[in-house]
Amino acid sequence: MKGKRIVLGVTGGIAAYKAAGLVSQWTQRGADVRVIMTQSATRFITPLTFQTLSRNHVAIDTFDEQDPAVVNHIDLADHADLFVIAPATANIIGKIAHGLGDDMLSTTVLATQAPVLFAPAMNVHMYEHPIVRDNIHHLMQKGFRFVDPASGQLACGYVGKGRLADPEAITAAVEEILQEAPGALRGKRVVVTAGPTREPLDPVRYLTNRSSGKMGYALAEAAVRAGAETVLVSGPVGLTVPAGVRRVDVTTAEEMFEAVMKELPSSDIVIKAAAVADYTPMQKANRKIKKSGDQMALELKKTRDIAEEVGKRKDGQFLVGFAAETDHVSDHAIDKLHRKRMDLVVANDVSQAGAGFDGETNIVTVYDDQGEVLRLPQMSKTEVARRLMGLIGERVR
């Protein structure tokens, strides 16, 4: 933490007094801590407390410009290695989720390029309200981080989840983010495949699967953030391409095969997150197949296995595959890793709630040729991608 620049946003909740302990702890450990308070926060604890502990001016009013040489909220936004909001009320979470900047804290958060960590604290019913949960979920999908609140006796008298996380938990999250190497893959070229493929039966119908592409798109975004030149070979999905990513659109398994093989020679890392069809119709009808009879038989042929072919052709590339399973997950994943000469395989049990297709979260276990490497509980696909990219960066280095 020494030498790191942390901006702490303090909002108006009874837990605001606990933020003083965070400032004291981080400052003693060598961090340069700047505090922004909302007007409501000043009703719970004085700015002088934070000024004394941080040895820096406390920002409250957007228009209170202390230094005419800079715009204060932009200067603070640029200053940060990490932005922490603790306690984070439902109000500030909602404002940031909807891009609102109507005070010093919200405008600074919107202007910063640093990672942002929220530590929510509020009444249990507020925290569980569908709108608040949607706002938190939306922010997580955008890459914002959260430290879950603790459960227990709340200041309002209720018992439940909503207490500000313990200082140790918040500091641990801060340390983890500060230790991330944003340039861990700088100079590397990453190819990510994402989404389903569609295998046409006729001009109207096709065979496909339930993949949404969200995991692959999250991986592509994480790769760019880690400094890599990133190519996303995407099946047909309705997702926005992450900034800085070059997308190659494909539809069929054969098109995805050709696109990956074209990118392979110039790549350093290949991440096969797409759900590619294993079989395709033997023949595609030129006209719509009309309904006739009570039964219909389809004759299918096997598609070319992209991951297996990459494993055969790779020349120094680092290959990561995915294994979506419903039983004997570890056995199938490790077998797949060995057969296809993968360096890592990311396995999930898609029959588990929170780990299936088309969801916003995932539950994964990562294996290498020695066995289990990393086990992640249910978390957003954005967070899973960030953790996986950190592991890949370590292995590649």
135 lies in the same domain as 200: no
Whether residue 329 is contained in a domain is answered as yes
Task: Indicate if 155 and 203 belong to the same structural domain.
Answer: no
- 167 and 280 in a single domain? The answer is no
- 249 and 336 in one domain? yes
Annotated active-site residue 156? The verdict is: yes
Angstrom distance (rounded) from CA 310 to CA 291: 40
Distance CA 349, CA 131 (A): 29
Whichever domain contains 324, its CATH number is 3.40.50.10300
pLDDT tens string for the chain (397 positions)?
A: 888 999 999 999 999 999 999 999 999 999 999 999 999 999 999 999 999 999 999 999 988 777 776 677 788 888 889 999 999 999 999 999 999 999 999 999 999 988 899 999 999 989 999 999 999 988 887 778 899 898 887 777 777 788 899 999 999 889 888 876 566 788 899 999 999 999 999 999 999 999 999 999 999 999 988 889 999 999 999 998 988 899 999 999 999 999 999 999 999 999 999 999 999 999 999 999 999 889 989 999 999 999 999 999 999 999 999 999 999 999 999 999 999 999 999 999 988 888 878 788 999 999 999 999 999 998 889 889 988 998 998 899 7
Domain that holds residue 235: 189-396
Is residue 112 a part of any domain in this protein? yes
Q: State how far the Cα of 29 lies from the Cα of 33, in Å rounded to an integer.
A: 11
Q: Residue 98 maps to which CATH number?
A: 3.40.50.1950
The whole-angstrom separation of Cα 319 and Cα 114 is: 30
- Is 41 within the bounds of a domain? yes
In a domain, 184, yes or no: no
pLDDT of residue 278: 95
Residues 196 and 316 in one domain: yes
Q: Which residues are annotated as a binding site for CTP?
A: 278, 288, 322, 336, 340
Predicted local distance difference test score (pLDDT) of residue 292:
87
Say whether both 162 and 193 belong to one domain: no
Q: Write phi, then psi, for 63 (nearest 5 degrees).
A: -95, 5
CB within 8 Å of 17: residues ≥ 6 apart: 44, 45
CA gap 388, 392 in Å, rounded: 6
pLDDT recorded at residue 280: 97
Q: 134 and 257 in one domain?
A: no
The last residue of one of the domains, among 131, 161, 179, is: 179
End position of a domain, from candidates 149, 179, 209: 179
Residue pair 281/299 in contact (Cβ under 8 Å)? The answer is yes
Query: Catalytic one among 156, 172, 289, 300?
Result: 156
Domain boundary among 118, 153, 179: 179
Same domain, 126 and 203: no
* 294 and 172 inside one domain: no
pLDDT at 82: 93
213 and 327 housed in the same domain: yes
Q: Which of helix, strand or coil describes residue 349?
A: strand
For 221, the enclosing helix (H) or strand (E) is helix 214-225
39 touches 64 (CB < 8 A): no
**Number of domains within the chain:** 2
Query: Do both 98 and 166 map to the same domain?
Result: yes
The HSE-up count of residue 324 (CA atoms within 13 Å, CB side) is 18
Binding-site residues, in ranges, read: 278, 288, 322, 336, 340
Reading the block at residue 306, the tokens are 């992209």
Whether 164 and 137 share a structural domain: yes
